Structure 1
Amino acid sequence: MRLNLRRAAKRRLPKRERVALYVPKLPDTVWSVDFMSDALACGRRLRTFNVVDDFNREVLHIEMDTSINSHRLVRVFEQIKHDHGLPQVVRSDNGPEFLGEAFTSWLKVNGVAINDIQPGKPNQNAFIERFNRTFREEVLDQHLFTRLDDIREATHWWMIDYNEERPHDSLGGLTPAEDRNQHARRSTFGVSV
C-alpha cells in the first residue's frame, strides 16, 4: 500500500570554496600512497600498493601481491629508503595497513610524518587517485593477466615509460625524471637520482 506522503526536502549544503591541493616545492617532501584491488584471469584477487612523489608525480614504487599488510609496507619503504631516500610526509587514507603498529612505528623511527586524509574525502589525496586511474586504464584494464609475475613485468615497463618517456601536462611537458633533474640543476643542494 502506497501512501501519499510528502518527501522531505533535500538538504542543500552551502557552496564551499575549493582549495587547491598543496603541491610541494621540493622533491621528497610529500609522497602519496594508496592501495588498489584487481583480479587475475583465474579470479584470484590481487592488491597493488602505489607510491607517488607529489612534487613531480614520479612513481617511486608499485608493490603487488595477493595480500599486503603493515609489515610488508615496512619492507617496501625500507627498499625505497635504500634506493631513493625518504620523504618528510606520507599522505594516505585511513586504511588499516597504514594504521598498523609496524608501519606507524617505522615511520616514527625514521622521522617521517603521516598525513591522513579525512574519511570519505579522496580528493584530499588527488595526486595518487589520479595516478591510480591512469594505472588502471593503461595497465590493469588493458590486459588479462594470468600470473602475478606477468603483471609485475608489465608494470615495471609501464613505470619506466611513465617516469622517463611520457611528458606530463602538469609538469610543463616534462617527464617526471626530467623535472627532477631540472630541479637538481637549479638547486644549490642537488638531489639524489
Structure 2
Amino acid sequence: MSKGYPKKTVLKIIGIKRSTYYYRKNYRVEEKQVSEGRPAPGYSIAKDGKKISDEQIKEWLLEEVAGDGYAYGYRKLTKQLRRKHKLVINKKKVYRLCKELNILRPQRQKRDSVPRRLARNRVITGSNQLWETDIKYGYIEGEQRFFFVLSYIDVYDRSIIDYHIGTSCTGQNAFETLKRALWKRQQYDQKEKPVVRSDNGPQFISHAFTQGCEKLEIEHERIPPKTPNMNAHIESFHRILEDDCLSRYEFQTYEEVYQVVSEFMKFYNEVRMHGSIQDMAPMEFFEKNKHMAIKIKEIRV
C-alpha cells in the first residue's frame, strides 16, 4: 500500500477484512493489566482498635490446634479467634494463615453415591422380562395431605403386578411391593428374575431398595435424568390413572383414596381393553399368552 497499490486489493490478497484493518489502524489495542490484588497488611484489628500482627494470630492458631480445638477446621477457628481474642477477622484470612502453617485439616472424602446401572436398550419378547416402576401422587382435600401410589408394570403384558398406596412412600415400601410382585408372578425363586427399571427418585436410590435388590439378585437399572421416555409404560399408566380415576374425585379421607384406587387397579387389570395387546385386558392377555403365544407389535425400550 505504501507503494501505491489499492488497499482493497492488498487486503483481499492477504485475506484481511477491511473492518479489521481500519479497526487496528484507528484504535490502539492496549494489553490488559492483570491486578495482583492489594498486598496483605500483615495484621488484623481487634474490637478495641488495636492492631494484632499475623505472627501473633498464628501463635494463637497453633495453641488452638494443640489444645482442645484440634477437631476444628478453619471456619470454627475463625469463630474461636473472634470470641476468645475479639478479633475482626474473616475465614478467608484464617484459611490463608492455616495453610501457611500447614495445619489445615484434611478434607473429608466424598462418599460414593449409590452405584447406578444405566438402562440400556432392550427388545422385550415375553412377560416377566422387564418391569418398570414409578410413583404417582395425589391430594386428599379433606385431610390436607398428599398420598402416593407406587406401581410395578410388566411392559409386555401391561399388567400392574402390584402396587403400594400410602400417605408416605419409602425405599422399604418400594422393596416390599417388589417382593409381593415377585410372589404373584412366581418369580421369587427363579434364577432369571425380571429386570426392574426406575427413575432416580429417592426411593429407588435408597439403601433399603438397593440392598434389597442385591439380596434377591435382581438387576435394577435406572434411566438417565430427564429421559422419562425410557420409562414410558409406567408413565403412560400413571397418566391413565390420573385421567380415568384421580381427576374424577375430590378425596376427603385416606380410606376413600384406598378404596377408589384399589377398585381402579382391579378394573385396569381385568376389564379395561388395551390397544397394544389386541384390545384385551392385561390379565386376560397374560393368561392366554401363557398357553399360546399371541403375536403383538415388537416392544423396544
> Any conservation in 1 of the 2:198–2:204 contact (CA below 8 Å)?
yes
Measured after TM superposition, the shift of residue 61 of structure 1 is 2.0
Change (3 A) 1:128 1:23: farther
For 1:101, give the aligned amino acid. H
AA aligned to 2:226 is G
Q: 1:65 to 1:172 in 2, by over 3 A?
A: same
1:167-190 deviations in Å (ceiling 9; x for gaps):
111111111112111211026xxx
**Deviation for aligned residue 1:23:** 5.4
Task: Pick closer, same or farther for the CA change 1:23–1:57 going to 2, 3 Å.
Answer: farther
Structure 1 gaps, min length 5:
1-20, 188-193
- Where do residues 30-69 of structure 1 align in structure 2 (5 Å cutoff)? 30-42=130-142, 43-69=144-170
Q: Which has the higher contact order (CA 8 A, sep 6+)?
A: 1
Matched, 1:29 2:117: no
Q: Hey, what does 1:89 align to over in structure 2?
A: 195
Instruction: Give the TM-score normalised by the residue count of structure 2.
Output: 0.53
Instruction: Please say which structure displays the higher CA radius of gyration.
Output: 2
Given that 2:150 and 2:165 are in contact with CA atoms closer than 8 Å, whether structure 1 keeps it comes out as yes
* Shift of residue 22, structure 1, vs aligned partner: 4.6
Query: Is the CA contact (8 Å cut-off) linking 1:23 and 1:54 kept in structure 2?
Result: no
Count residues in correspondence.
Answer: 167
Work out the CA distance in 1 between the residues paired with 2:141 and 2:123: 38
1:121 equivalenced with 2:227 (yes/no): yes
Match of 2:251 among 119, 123, 145: 145
Q: Displacement of 1:107 after TM fit?
A: 0.7
Deviation of the 1:108 alpha carbon: 1.2
Structure 2 Cα separation of the partners of residues 82 and 115 of structure 1: 21
Distance 1:139 1:156 in 2: 10
Say whether the 8 Å CA contact 1:70–1:98 is kept in structure 2: yes
Of 249, 266, 271, 1:165 maps to 271
Taking structure 1 as the reference length, the TM-score comes to: 0.81
Q: Which amino acid aligns with 2:129?
A: T
CA distance in 2 between counterparts of 1:160 and 1:48 reads 14
Which residue pairs with 1:106 in the alignment? Answer: 212
In 2, Cα distance between the equivalents of 1:24 and 1:149? 37
Structure 2: which 5+ runs fail to align? Answer: 1-120, 188-192, 294-301
Separation (CA, whole Å) in 1 of partners of 2:271 and 2:194: 27
Deviation at 1:152, TM superposition (A): 1.3
CA contact (8 A) 2:199 2:225 kept: yes
CA displacement at 1:68 relative to structure 2: 0.9
Q: 1:170 to 1:64 in 2, by over 3 A?
A: same
Match of 2:290 among 167, 184, 187: 184
Contact 2:164 2:173 (C-alpha < 8 Å) held by counterparts: no
Equivalents in 2 of 1:98, 1:92: separation in Å? Answer: 7
RMSD: 1.6
Alpha-carbon separation, structure 1, partners of 2:123 and 2:269: 18
Between the aligned residues of both structures, percent identity stands at 25
C-alpha displacement of 1:147: 1.5
